[in-house]
Every structure is written in C-alpha cells, then in structure tokens.
C-alpha cells in the first residue's frame, strides 16, 4: 500500500496531465461517435441508434457544403493575402532600421491583444459608415486583417534566427540581390512562412465572431453551424468535423514522418 502511494505521488503530475488531455479530446470523441447517430427530431444531442446515413450522404443537408466551400475559398484567399503582407512586414522589421518602429510593433501586437468582439464591432461601424455591402469581400478584408499579425510573428521568429553570413556568402559568390533572395533567403525562411500560412488558414477557416458581425447574409461554415444550433443540428455537421480532424492529424503525422526521414538522411 505504501509503495502504491509512493508510485502515486511520483506520477501525480502524469495522471493530472493525462486527465487534462482527456478533457481536451473528449468533445472530439463525442463529435466522432455522434456522426454515426440517427437522431430523433431535429437535434443531434442524445444517442439513439447506429447509422451510416450521414457518412453516405455528407452533402445531404441544404446549403451546408456550399458554406463549406465558401469557407475554404475565403480561408485560401485570406491565407495568401496575410502571408504575402505579413512576410514583407516581418522582413522589414528584422532586417532594416527605420523610424516609427515602436508604433509599428504595437500596431501589429494590438490586434492579437484585443477581444475579437471589439475588432468585429468596430470594423462593422466602419463598413456601416462607408455604406459598404456586407458579404464575401468584407469577410475577406476582416480575415486578412486579423491573420496578418500572426503571420508576422511566425515569420519574424524564423528570420531572426537566420544566420546573416549565409547571405553574405552568397553575395561573395557573385549572386545578385534577387538571386540571393530567391535561392538563399527564401528557402531558409520557408518553414516560418509555412507555419504562418498554416496558422492563418486555420484561424480564418474557423473564425466565427468577426465573420458573424461582418458577413451580412453570407453564410460561412461556422455561421452555418451557429445557425443550426438554433434550428436543428444535422448529423452531417459531425461528419465534416470528424473528417477535418482525421485529415489534419494524418497530415501532421505525415509531416512528422517526412521530417524524421530527412533528419536521418542528413545524418
């Protein structure tokens, strides 16, 4: 008994940590299990019986797949926009000295330190005052705005840890500025840019609050889920949620495997 308590004390942090991990993953388990449910009535909150109906017909709900493809489109464009603008800012911040540096740093930091609802509401007042038509473009503008800071942070970290002597070496070997940038700087900064782009995509795709304020009658996937929480949740929502989770985990695992193989080759 004493040995058990000693073991418990030594591993208490592991048990507590695994409990937290369970807390984090439990909703995903529920989402997956309930994608095989056959609910009575409009809401998919209590277990009835096993069924593959939703998986056989994932787009069987009116407007859901349309909203999904709209979300993917917006996320793709927002990722491109925020990554290009953010990477340029990150390079300028790390590589050059210029005036108003502090002000620019706070302008980039503030959107990340602001509650989303404040940004959403203030942007809506701007669009209302300008008489802008709410829809695809206003959502895209908003998404690029809040993804930008995250891209800057991700790229900045990578560029800062870069050895400037590599570029000097390239220039010593008679590479022009453009050639140095394309063949030395960009490849080294690529993992940071990729991380920023991935983050931007995830943030934009899953954004609800800012979209809710600035979308007008345009329905993105999170907006569709929000609406269905009021009207009735189709099982297909869970199918999409489960599929997204699986695809993401598989992609990450594949990336880890490739990285490990590359490391082995490098050694």
- Report 189-248 residues binding other proteins (CB under 8 A): 202, 206, 208-209, 212-213, 221-222, 225-226, 229, 233, 237-238, 240-242, 244-245, 247-248
Applying CB under 8 A, among 144, 154, 155, 193 the residue interacting with other proteins is 144
Q: In 3-state terms, what secondary structure has residue 38? A: coil
**156/86 Cα distance (integer angstroms):** 9
**7/25 Cα distance (integer angstroms):** 26
Q: Token digits for 145?
A: 């705005």
Q: Which is nearer to other proteins, 13 or 266 (CB)?
A: 13
**Residues between 5 and 44 that touch other proteins (CB under 8 A):** 13-14, 16-21, 23-28, 30-31, 34
**127/80 Cα distance (integer angstroms):** 23
The reply to whether 109 sits near other proteins by the rule CB under 8 A is yes
**84/99 Cα distance (integer angstroms):** 22
Number of chain residues interacting with other proteins (CB under 8 A): 100
Residues 248-267, mask of contacts with other proteins (x by CB under 8 A): xx--xx--x-----------
**Which residues are within 8 A (CB) of 1 and not within 5 positions of it... i.e. 6 or more apart?**
none
Applying CB under 8 A, among 52, 110, 160, 169 the residue interacting with other proteins is 110
Q: Which is nearer to other proteins, 8 or 248 (CB)?
A: 248
Nearest to 53 by CA among 36, 68, 39, 33: 36
CA 77 vs. chain centroid, Å, equals: 13
Q: At its nearest, how many Å lie between other proteins and the CB of residue 94?
A: 10
The reply to whether 48 sits near other proteins by the rule CB under 8 A is no
């Amino acid at each position: 008994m004493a040995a058990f308590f000693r073991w418990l004390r030594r591993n208490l942090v592991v048990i507590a940590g695994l409990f937290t991990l369970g807390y984090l993953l439990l909703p995903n388990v529920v989402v997956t299990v309930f994608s095989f449910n056959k609910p009575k009535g409009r809401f998919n909150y209590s277990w009835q019986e096993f069924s593959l109906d939703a998986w056989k017909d994932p787009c069987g709900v009116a407007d859901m797949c349309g909203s999904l493809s709209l979300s993917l489109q917006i996320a793709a464009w927002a990722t491109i926009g925020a990554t290009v603008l953010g990477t340029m800012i990150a390079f300028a911040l790390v590589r050059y000295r210029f005036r108003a540096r502090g002000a620019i740093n706070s302008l980039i930091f503030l959107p990340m330190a602001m509650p989303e609802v404040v940004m959403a509401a203030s942007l809506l007042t701007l669009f209302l005052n300008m008489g802008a038509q709410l829809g695809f473009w206003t959502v895209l503008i908003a998404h690029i705005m809040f993804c930008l800071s995250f891209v800057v942070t991700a790229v900045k970290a990578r560029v800062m840890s870069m050895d400037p002597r590599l570029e000097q070496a390239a220039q010593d070997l008679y590479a022009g500025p453009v050639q140095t940038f394309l063949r030395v700087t960009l490849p080294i900064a690529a993992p940071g840019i990729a991380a920023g782009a991935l983050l931007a995509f995830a943030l934009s795709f899953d954004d609800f609050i800012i979209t809710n304020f600035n979308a007008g009658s345009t329905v993105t996937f999170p907006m569709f889920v929000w609406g269905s929480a009021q009207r009735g949740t189709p099982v297909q929502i869970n199918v999409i949620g489960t599929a997204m989770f699986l695809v993401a985990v598989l992609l990450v695992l594949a990336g880890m495997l490739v990285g490990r193989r590359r490391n082995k080759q490098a050694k």
